[in-house]
Amino acid sequence: MPSHIMFDLETMSTNPRATILTLGAVKFDPFTDEFFDEMYIRIDIEEQEKLGREIDPNTLEWWGKQDPEIMMEAFSDDDRISLNEAMDQFHKFAWGCDKVWSHGAVFDIVIIEDLLRQMGRTEPWKFWDCRDTRTLFDLANPDMPQSAKHNALEDAKRQAIGVQNVMRKLGRSRI
What CATH number should be reported for the domain holding residue 107? 3.30.420.10
Q: Whole domain around residue 115: which residue ranges?
A: 4-170
User: In the predicted model, what is the mean pLDDT of the chain?
Assistant: 94
In a domain, 175, yes or no: no
In a domain, 22, yes or no: yes
pLDDT digits (tens, 9 = 90+) for 37-78: 999 999 999 999 999 999 999 999 999 999 999 999 999 999
Question: Starting at the edge strand that comes first in sequence, how are the strands of the sheet with 80-81 ordered?
Answer: 80-81, 35-43, 20-28, 4-11, 99-102, 130-132
pLDDT grade, residue 116 (50/70/90)? Answer: very high
Total domains in the fold of the chain: 1
In a domain, 56, yes or no: yes
pLDDT(175) > 90: no
Q: Model pTM?
A: 0.94
Query: What is the reported pLDDT for 146?
Result: 82
pLDDT grade, residue 131 (50/70/90)? Answer: very high
Residue type, position 165, single letter = N
In a domain, 112, yes or no: yes
